[in-house]
Homo-oligomer: A and B are copies of this chain.
């Protein structure tokens, strides 16, 4: 058993190392905020020198951006609507997948969202992009407009609805109270058509 520092540097392929560091970055976010994720901490946790992180990511913010992008891609992939079935059912499944994803990865998800929403231009861009993708599915899956016609006004409404969903899921997961998962899903999915109707320009 070596004393304190067993300095046998291990050499990975760039792809492997990148993957390791990004994965570790995402994992560490469960316990810390994005800007508490210092280069020092990550280097120590990964068992590498600080310099190596700069070799791979250039600087701290670029690393943060890479981590957020990594997690964002993961979220988007995990909540993709299923291939078959009725359009509206596919949406339901996708929304449910979103709720379950947040439930399962709560700390990391919250940390990510807060870090990205409060971060620099690029970070917010990624955050916006995720919302955009999730919202876009509404119009993409519901091509006939059974639920929501694709109008500029309704785009705004869906945007607001998405913000509401994020808040609701986080609030619910923090304290479910007496509301079950299915009831939450009911609230979320019921809210969209209600909003669309309420906001429809009167003729």
Contacts and interface: CB of A to CB of B under 8 A. Distances in A.
Nearest to A131: B167
Instruction: Decide if the interface of chain A is mainly helix, strand, loop or mixed.
Output: helix
Interface stretch (A18-26, A89-97, A190-198): A190-198
Contacts of A163: 163-164, 166-168
Tally of this chain's copies: 2
Interface residues of A, number: 38
A87 interface: no
A162 B168 CA distance: 11
Contact of A179 (B35, B114, B156, B160): B156
Interface string A161-175: 111111110011000
Interface of A: 33-35, 114-115, 117-120, 124, 152-153, 156-157, 159-168, 171-172, 177-179, 187, 190-191, 193-195, 197-199
